[in-house]
Amino acid sequence: MSEIPITVIPGDGIGEEITQAVLTVLTALDCGLVFEEALAGGPALKQGLDLIPEETLQHIERNRGTLKGPITTPIGKGFTSVNVSLRQHFDLFANVRPALSIPGATTRYSDIDILVVRENMEGLYSGVGHVRSEDGERAELTSVVTRNGCTRILHHAFSLAQRLGRRKVTVVHKANIMRSTSGLFLEVAREVASEYADVECEEMIVDNCAMQLVMNPHRFDVIVTTNLFGDVLSDLCAGLVGGLGLAPGANIGEHRGIFEAVHGSAPDIAGCNIANPTALLLASAMMLDYLEMPEPAARVRTAVRHVIGDGRILTPDLGGDGTTDQYTQCLLEELGH
């Protein structure tokens, strides 16, 4: 079996606990992954290193796949968000967030299967033009959207839909009001959609999309949108399938991907052995797919569905009283260990 090195960044808060749980499960798969640990966030600062040490950047650069635990950005100390920095540094332009119902997780809806593809680099999150007037009475922020940025995220969404046999892509925008930025996104969407005749394209204004997602989520398949809208709507979608503890995400660039949980470092429950590692585990399944290892990816997803579906051990966020360790042990048993 060939060895496939991946970079692992445990992160901080609940990061170490859930990363450990995920590595235990991945090890049980015995599929050739080799874990190369790198530091970022709190653990790096504690060792007197930068928030994202140069060595960590080199690690990520070397490997196609990185599994990253949540990392807190220290507030008020002049640090830029680690997540944003990594996306920018490696040009990880596509943020892919699946929202897939897991039987056994109590939610308002069952059978949700929505894939949100969010532009990850531009728009109001591009970090351009933050201005606060001296008297504090006025604030400005610039939204930058480029044809190239729109084109590559839209191709990413449509080709993903095509590859996965999905029937429809909903292009979410606000071009009626934000005529320049959202207008460009919509214009490019129409051009790109015309190249994918077998995938239906629908256009939807973001406020309507938010309402439709709550009232009639089954009408959605793949959603593609700009940075801010995608950030908000993908959390909404996570809420539809049981909350942050179950929501994975991938940041994909031309040459590599960083796979993570959508949730943060949950400092309120850090060290308590009750964090739900499922989101990061499902992110690791996305990474296995990305590394062209569909069989172990499917085993991970099936194990999660069985354990949560049986309600054998659920962590408190899913209404149970199980610990992270007990849940992980159940997953191992499910995998035949």
Binding ligand ATP by CB under 6 A: which of 224, 252, 266, 286? 266
Q: How far apart are CA 331 and CA 175, in angstroms?
A: 46
231 carries an active-site annotation: yes
Closest CB to ligand ATP: residue number: 264
Please report, as a single letter, which amino acid is at residue 12. Answer: D
Instruction: List the interface residues with ligand ATP, window 202-261 (CB under 6 A).
Output: 244-245
46 carries an active-site annotation: no
Contact status: 63 vs ligand ATP (CB under 6 A): no
* Distant-in-sequence, close-in-space partners of 277: CB < 8 Å, separation ≥ 6: 17, 18, 19, 21, 22, 324, 327, 328
Contact status: 12 vs ligand ATP (CB under 6 A): no
Which CB sits closer to ligand ATP, 52 or 161?
52
Binding ligand ATP by CB under 6 A: which of 134, 140, 268, 295? 268
Q: How far apart are CA 264 and CA 243, in angstroms?
A: 12
Please tell me which residue in 125, 221, 317, 327 is annotated as part of the active site. 125
Contact status: 276 vs ligand ATP (CB under 6 A): yes
196 carries an active-site annotation: no
Yes or no: say if 124 and 143 are a contact pair by the CB < 8 Å rule. yes
113 carries an active-site annotation: no
- Reduced to 3 states (helix: H, G, I; strand: E, B; else coil), residue 246 is helix
Which CB sits closer to ligand ATP, 205 or 244?
244
290 carries an active-site annotation: no
Binding ligand ATP by CB under 6 A: which of 97, 173, 174, 263? 263
DSSP tag of 111: S
Which contiguous run of DSSP H or E holds residue 250?
strand 248-252
Instruction: Name the phi and psi angles at 34, rounded to 5.
Output: -120, 125
**Tokens found for residue 299:** 């085993």
Contact residues: ligand ATP, CB under 6 A: 14, 72, 244-245, 263-266, 268-269, 275-276, 279, 317
Task: List the catalytic residues.
Answer: 125, 174, 207, 231, 235
